[in-house]
Chains A and B, each alone.
Chain A
């Protein structure tokens, strides 16, 4: 406790980490070779490290629960924090490539867990390159929701292969999503919005979700309101473009 009071990175009033001490570049190159540890396979992911309260002892219950939501490129973790209270019994993980940002989210979750005991135990974050290592974290059909909120637009055509939604990467997302699972994407860049929509539209294992269903889904409202990027866009009166699709069985 004493440590925290001396730690300038933690706000004295809210006990939350202060963002200005975790300033990072806005973008990171997903193509570069990675220098962080990666679990060999999904069974090597240490759940007790991420969700200590759910996996306190090695009892029978421990083996049963698995991560169901993945926020790819979670940024400063706004969505994760909102989802954690909305779905308190669902395990969720944020994946972020920038180490400083990951560090911030980690501190933020720890602080929230301390501030409101019993809550936020189901949210965690990991530093990884999700474009490369998704199969190392999740088994086939493990996830029910995947989020891609305000991803890096990579405007140059030469760099389109760095986009987190691409026809080939959708194959991997379809693999980790269960049938009926939902993929949420949103961006404030019209060009990227069109791109993501056309990628999903053209993929045989995804179908668009109807407007009525979108209205009924409480998560959809969070897409633009919960994230730091989304708040920034609405502050500036910007437009957002979303594409929400369901994983289906491919027609043979």
Chain B
């Protein structure tokens, strides 16, 4: 019993998240219950205004996102509150309470509907009555939209044309559902299931280009692959074994017994490149940042051949930077990354957030121009040190904190996504210990 309680507490550790305003006006980072916003246009930090009875978030934030038009921002998490903010005034416009902890959010492109998924695998939808600058805070009630049967939903995305809503879960399932005209009555028409992953699906993103305005779906999973899908038919187009690729890129040997998890995906607006955040862990005893994969992998998408291929591995070796979340904007060619974790009571470690930016995250002429991603130094980041001070909390991060954080993030990821495995003996033992059996033989 005791070790179960222990594990329960460990789950409270949450990885840091990053989200960038589509026109790069703002960058937000969530660490634990703390939501940090920086105004890139004016180069100053933003303070949030929340007049609700329960201001800000009380527990770990698990999902943040800007709407496609940049007018709205949504944050939600373990305190079972979904907060919808205006990005002009950074006032909280709507507060929606959820029955369960929230694991993912999505905003329809017009900003009319906000969807969020809870720990029971139910996706809820809220209709917004428009954004008025001076409106008082509204508390909304959500209606159920669809459900995965008791599987934690890890990612929620609208298709580019907003005809479909796609949800991924811990049971290796990706469901594509037609998004109806009146979603408050529920979304009942399933377009397809994208099935091929053999482990939990951790992240989804759409890539589109001029020839494919409908877009293709890209998914990342705990089975160390990134897969490309035709989401209307649910057919698998290509599988990219990023685990094997990361193994090659890494210093020789040491491949055996390692477990690669794709934790984040981020695509350029033209769909030519997909950035992949990866966590590697050895299944053996020695867990340290040494065997992790510091940096990101860039995949190029060939739309005509419908394949994903590794274009470049960007290592960040001067510090063991394993991004926990990725973000980009429409035009800047910058990839924003954060590595971080909320503070944890059980191990007594403080929270950490480290922001890094890669420039050259675009590939305008697929063949001619060389892909030149450069990891920016702290001073070169838009917003400079002021931004880092706001988003990281402090400027310098010590080496030991990194490795501790890397550990904590792994634990959090593990507890959230990987099912508890009991040995056959343990299961038998638990069965024998059942107290609801009437007839004892």
B190 touches A167 (CB 8 A): no
Q: Give a binary string over B116-142; 1 marks a CB under 8 Å from any A CB, 0 the rest.
A: 000010100000000000000000000
Q: With A174-B190, A204-B188 in contact, is A168–B146 under 8 Å at CB?
A: yes
Specify which chain A residues have a CB less than 8 angstroms from the CB of B185 in the assembled complex: 204
Q: In the bound complex, what is the Cα–Cα distance between A35 and B431 (angstroms)?
A: 14
Q: Give a binary string over B250-269; 1 marks a CB under 8 Å from any A CB, 0 the rest.
A: 00000000000000000000
> Which of A31, A33, A171 sits near B188, CB closer than 8 Å?
A171
Which residues of A pack against B, CB within 8 Å? 30-31, 33, 35, 40-42, 131-132, 135-136, 140, 161, 167-172, 174-175, 203-205, 250, 252
Q: In the bound complex, what is the Cα–Cα distance between A122 and B304 (angstroms)?
A: 43
| Interface range on chain B (Cβ under 8 Å from partner) | 20 to 34
B149 touches A205 (CB 8 A): no
Q: In the bound complex, what is the Cα–Cα distance between A161 and B173 (angstroms)?
A: 20
Q: In the bound complex, what is the Cα–Cα distance between A69 and B378 (angstroms)?
A: 62
Q: With A174-B190, A205-B188, A205-B189 in contact, is A169–B427 under 8 Å at CB?
A: no
Q: Give a binary string over B210-222; 1 marks a CB under 8 Å from any A CB, 0 the rest.
A: 0000000000000
B420 at the interface (CB under 8 A from A): yes
Q: With A31-B150, A168-B122 in contact, is A135–B188 under 8 Å at CB?
A: no
Q: In the bound complex, what is the Cα–Cα distance between A205 and B189 (angstroms)?
A: 8
B359 at the interface (CB under 8 A from A): no
Nearest to B236 among chain A residues (CB) is A41
Specify which chain A residues have a CB less than 8 angstroms from the CB of B333 in the assembled complex: none
B196 touches A41 (CB 8 A): yes
Nearest to B192 among chain A residues (CB) is A140
Nearest to B170 among chain A residues (CB) is A33
> Which of B150, B188, B234 sits near A174, CB closer than 8 Å?
B188
Most chain A beta-carbon contacts within 10 A, residue among B151, B172, B193, B420: B193
User: Which residues of B, 368-385, contact A by the 8 Å Cβ criterion?
Assistant: none
> Can you list 18 contacts pairing A with B, beta carbon distance less than 8 Å?
A40-B198, A41-B193, A131-B149, A135-B175, A135-B193, A140-B192, A140-B234, A161-B120, A168-B146, A168-B147, A169-B149, A171-B146, A171-B177, A174-B188, A175-B190, A205-B188, A205-B189, A250-B189
A132 touches B188 (CB 8 A): no
Additional pairs, 4, CB under 8 Å, beyond known A132-B150, A172-B149, A174-B189? A41-B196, A135-B193, A168-B122, A250-B188
Q: In the bound complex, what is the Cα–Cα distance between A24 and B193 (angstroms)?
A: 33
Q: In the bound complex, what is the Cα–Cα distance between A33 and B171 (angstroms)?
A: 10
A172 touches B190 (CB 8 A): yes
Q: In the bound complex, what is the Cα–Cα distance between A167 and B122 (angstroms)?
A: 12
Nearest to B173 among chain A residues (CB) is A135
Q: Give a binary string over B82-115; 1 marks a CB under 8 Å from any A CB, 0 the rest.
A: 0000000000000000000000000000000000
